[in-house]
Structure 1
Amino acid sequence: MEATATLAAPSFLAHRSQKKPAPSLQLPRTRCLRIRAAKLPAGVEVPRQQPKLSEPFLGFTQTAEIWNSRACMIGLIGTFIVELVLNKGILQMIGVEVGKGLDIPL
């Protein structure tokens, strides 16, 4: 049984010696490299069918949302640590006066 894998790399990584004037908006072309193994390693089975993935709704996928929430948690904890170390709130650090209320005449 033969196993194959396809890798794609931008062309500027594959050929650095070529110097062509490229337009500023042109994306790098990718090159595909096919790797073939003589036989699968012991214990590895070929899947019987390809997984059917649902179409993402406006870019919202389960994996993207998990990583977004993790980044948000790290940022929030980082904000708390900065406020604790500097003994000032984030708004005070950027120059917004706090503690006086809205100061709107009614």
Structure 2
Amino acid sequence: MAALSSSFLSTALSTNHSQNQHFLLPHNPNLKINKRVFKIQAAKLPAGVELPKEVPKLSRPLFGFTKTAEIWNSRACMIGLIGTFIVELIFNKGILEMIGVEIGKGLDIPL
């Protein structure tokens, strides 16, 4: 294994190690842990860019079709589809055959 020498790596490894130990120890008010605080400041807007003067007013969603509802609906659909595939693989039959619908025999309509 190659040895890496970097002041960043040694501090990152030591802080991760001390943080992991902190989670394993019971709560101790006398325990001091070095915490790094990052301060993030927003950059100035480029020249020519203007902020909107008022917040846009959105209309009510039509029939309840909101973004969040559609996201959850699609997630439920994906879970159901994967579940259907798993059931078909386990029983080696299609879902329609399992519920009693005959498959592969045509429409049985006299011509």
| TM-score when normalising by structure 1 | 0.49
Structure with max Cα Rg: 2
Say which structure, 1 or 2, has more relative contact order (CA 8 Å, 6+ apart): 1
| TM-score when normalising by structure 2 | 0.47
| Between structures 1 and 2, the one with greater helix share | 2
